[in-house]
Amino acid sequence: MRILGIESSCDETAAAVVDELGHVYSDVVRSQVAAHAPYAGVVPEIACRDHLRAVGPVVERALADAGLGLADVDGIAVTRRPGLVGAVLVGVQFAKGLAWALDKPLVGVDHLLGHLLAVFLRYPDEGVPRAAPAFPFVGLLVSGGHTALYRCDGPAPPDVHELGGTRDDAAGEAYDKLAKLLGLGYPGGPVVDRLAHAGDAARAPVSLPAPMAHGLEFSFSGLKSAVARHVARAGKPADEAAAADLCAAVQGALVATLVKKTLAAAAREGVPRVVLAGGVAANRGLRACMREACEARGLELHVPPVRSCTDNAAMIAYAGALRLARGERDGYDIGPERRTELERLTKKGRGPRAQSPTTIIR
């Protein structure tokens, strides 16, 4: 089956054609970074209007790149949750219109599930095929809006179980806030990663707290607050070298937490495989540290190509293709949803949690 996927959950308008084996026929992403950069963050109204302008041409380009017409696709998959409601609505309504006009089956896809399954995508220009992970695996999904650990026993939402999520800021959000504090521009993740690669954490003139050492939940607000207090007291770094040292210290603390908790989750679950997913999975520091740690523990590590980490429609088309292969369909009454369909255990904010037994990270 060749499935047309549409993604519009945040600030990328994307379309792709993928089959149920993960083969990518086309993958088109139109970024809105330039439109949101002056505001150092995504402005929902701007995002919605840009999706409205772009979704038609982006779908046309994806079909052209795949060498297909609309009549040649076997179904339509679209992100319906979670995300900016107005942005998701644009993609959902467009997909429903296409499905109705073409009399093709329609499936809504959970954006987070798409990220967790992106590791199964196969691009024609990759050369030697990557080994696909077997189930079960522990998935670390880390992005601008989400940070969570999951046990994945299969590719359907009921097979995915949260082991721990973030109580406050997501990791990518922490990167963007750090970049804003230091005046590094938007989006913050790539520039912080670049500077961290050139910096030395030992030279950074700041003491950073270890983010939530206990359990499998995450909290990065303390890290952000420590940097904010430092900048308020000492001012922004005087030059790029000083900024690089500070970025190296922050990234080091953040990555160490992500890696340690992922390994702890794999050990607790008795799962020998780890998958990285989400936009922050493109971070060089995280990829390198996770690879080194997994090799030391004898764990398989599966990391998607960088282009599959950030928001894209190929992962949505693939997740939708699997739904269609299972005989699942959605009606024209589906609409956008703010919350994920995946199991959620972690609650935002402070206080005790009724959760699985505490895991102490040493």
Tokens of 193: 């990663």
Query: Do residues 244 and 196 lie in contact, with contact meaning Cβ atoms separated by under 8 Å?
Result: yes
Q: Is the same domain home to 274 and 156?
A: yes
- Condensed to tens digits (0 to 9), the pLDDT of residues 233-273 reads 989 988 999 999 999 999 999 999 999 999 999 999 999 99
Where does the pLDDT of residue 306 fall: very low under 50, low under 70, confident under 90, or very high at 90 and above? very high
- Residue 218 in any domain: the answer is yes
129, 110, 106: which is closest to 330 by C-alpha? 106
* pLDDT higher than 80, residue 351: no
- Residue 334 in any domain: the answer is no
* pLDDT higher than 50, residue 198: yes
* pLDDT higher than 90, residue 203: yes
In the numeric block, the tokens 């590590």 are attached to: 301
Q: In percent, how much of the chain has pLDDT > 70?
A: 96
- Residue 339 in any domain: the answer is no
- Residue 64 in any domain: the answer is yes
> Which residues, in sequence order, are CB contacts of 119 under 8 Å at separation 6+?
132, 133, 275, 276, 277, 302, 303, 304, 308
pLDDT of residue 361: 41
pLDDT of residue 216: 95
- Distance separating the N- and C-terminal Cα atoms of the chain: 47
Q: Is the same domain home to 295 and 162?
A: yes
- Condensed to tens digits (0 to 9), the pLDDT of residues 89-140 reads 999 999 999 999 999 999 999 999 999 999 999 999 887 778 899 999 999 9
- Mean pLDDT value across the chain: 92
Where does the pLDDT of residue 211 fall: very low under 50, low under 70, confident under 90, or very high at 90 and above? confident
- Residue 26 in any domain: the answer is yes
Query: Do residues 152 and 135 lie in contact, with contact meaning Cβ atoms separated by under 8 Å?
Result: yes
Q: Is the same domain home to 165 and 300?
A: yes
* pLDDT higher than 70, residue 354: no
Q: Is the same domain home to 317 and 292?
A: no
Q: Is the same domain home to 46 and 151?
A: no
Q: Is the same domain home to 171 and 300?
A: yes
- Condensed to tens digits (0 to 9), the pLDDT of residues 179-195 reads 988 888 888 889 999 99
* pLDDT higher than 60, residue 357: no
- Condensed to tens digits (0 to 9), the pLDDT of residues 157-168 reads 999 999 999 999
Segments forming the whole domain that contains residue 113: 2-126+307-325
> Which residues, in sequence order, are CB contacts of 95 under 8 Å at separation 6+?
6, 76, 77, 78, 106
In the numeric block, the tokens 């939530």 are attached to: 212
Query: Do residues 114 and 318 lie in contact, with contact meaning Cβ atoms separated by under 8 Å?
Result: yes
- Residue 352 in any domain: the answer is no
* pLDDT higher than 80, residue 227: yes
Q: Is the same domain home to 234 and 117?
A: no
Angle among Cα 282, 284, 289 to the nearest 5 degrees reads: 115
What total of structural domains would you count in the chain? 2
Where does the pLDDT of residue 350 fall: very low under 50, low under 70, confident under 90, or very high at 90 and above? low
Q: Is the same domain home to 121 and 71?
A: yes
- Residue 96 in any domain: the answer is yes
Q: Is the same domain home to 171 and 246?
A: yes
Q: Is the same domain home to 105 and 228?
A: no
Mean pLDDT across 135-159: 96
- Condensed to tens digits (0 to 9), the pLDDT of residues 20-79 reads 999 999 999 999 999 998 988 899 999 999 999 999 999 999 999 999 999 999 999 999
pLDDT of residue 334: 95
CATH classification of the domain holding 202: 3.30.420.40
Looking at per-residue pLDDT, the higher value among 174 and 163 belongs to: 163
> What is the amino acid identity at position 109?
V
Q: Is the same domain home to 19 and 142?
A: no
Angle among Cα 189, 111, 81 to the nearest 5 degrees reads: 120
Q: Is the same domain home to 315 and 300?
A: no
- Residue 184 in any domain: the answer is yes
